[in-house]
Amino acid sequence: MRIINLISTLIKSNNAVIFSKSYCPFCLRAKESLKSINLDFKVVELDEHPDGSKIQSALFDLTNQRTVPNIFINSKHIGGSDSLSEIIRNNDIESYLKK
Asked if 96 and 87 touch (Cβ cutoff 8 Å), the reply is yes
**Where are the chain's structural domains?**
3-97
Backbone torsions φ then ψ of 57, nearest 5 degrees = -65, -45
Domain 3-97 annotated CATH 3.30.2350.10: no
Asked if 16 and 71 touch (Cβ cutoff 8 Å), the reply is yes
The model carries a pTM of: 0.93
Cis geometry, peptide bond prior to residue 25 (ω within 30 degrees of 0): no
Residue 93 confidence class, pLDDT cut points 50, 70, 90: confident
**Is the predicted pLDDT of residue 99 greater than 80, yes or no?**
no
Over residues 39-61, mean pLDDT? 97
